[in-house]
Every structure is written in structure tokens, then in C-alpha cells.
């Protein structure tokens, strides 16, 4: 550990106990037990997302379901086909 980091570390250890304070939407709480249950659950959920030394984890990108269903794809194809037909009809008239 570099000397300046070691000095800062030692100083932080000797300054006394760490005081935690929770602030949620501008309201301060002395500790987690002082929070209402719904706020505490929200904080726990947020902290559960943060892992790996403070880096926010990202889902692996695999989808459990397709982006569009077969019916939605059919609607998109029909709309696109209609637009193409209108463009071709317009070009044929000119």
C-alpha cells in the first residue's frame, strides 16, 4: 500500500467510529431500523442490485421471450406491405 494511502487509512481508523445516516427523499433516518418497512425494502432492493465492488451489474442480455410475438410480427409485416403497395401505386400513377 502506498505510504500516503496507508496514512489516510490509519487516520480514518483512529478518528473514531463510522457514523451512518440514511437519507431518503430528504428525510433522514438514524439507522435502517428507523426506516418504515416500505422504504427499507426499497433500499434493500437497490443495494441488492449493486455488487462487485460498487459496480452496477447488468443482465446477461438473454431474453426469456422474443421481442415481438408472431401476431405482432404479422401486423408489422402487413403495415409494411401496405406502405410499399401505396408507394408503388403512387409511382405507377405519375
Looking at residue 71, what is its pLDDT? 95
CB atoms within 10 A of CB 78: 10
Q: Output the pLDDT for position 60.
A: 64
Judged against a pLDDT cut of 90, whether residue 76 lies above it is answered with yes
* Under 8 Å between Cβ of 40 and 32: yes
| Predicted TM-score (pTM) of this structure | 0.36
Mean pLDDT of 44-48: 77
CA distance 75 to 59: 30
Amino acid at each position: 500500500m502506498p505510504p500516503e494511502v496507508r496514512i489516510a487509512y490509519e487516520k480514518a481508523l483512529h478518528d473514531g467510529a463510522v457514523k451512518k445516516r440514511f437519507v431518503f427523499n430528504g428525510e433522514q433516518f438514524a439507522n435502517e431500523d428507523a426506516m418504515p418497512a416500505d422504504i427499507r425494502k426499497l433500499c434493500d432492493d437497490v443495494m441488492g442490485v449493486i455488487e462487485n465492488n460498487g459496480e452496477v451489474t447488468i443482465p446477461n442480455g438473454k431474453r426469456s421471450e422474443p421481442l415481438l410475438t408472431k401476431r405482432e410480427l404479422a401486423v408489422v409485416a402487413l403495415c409494411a406491405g401496405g406502405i410499399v403497395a401505396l408507394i408503388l401505386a403512387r409511382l405507377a400513377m405519375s
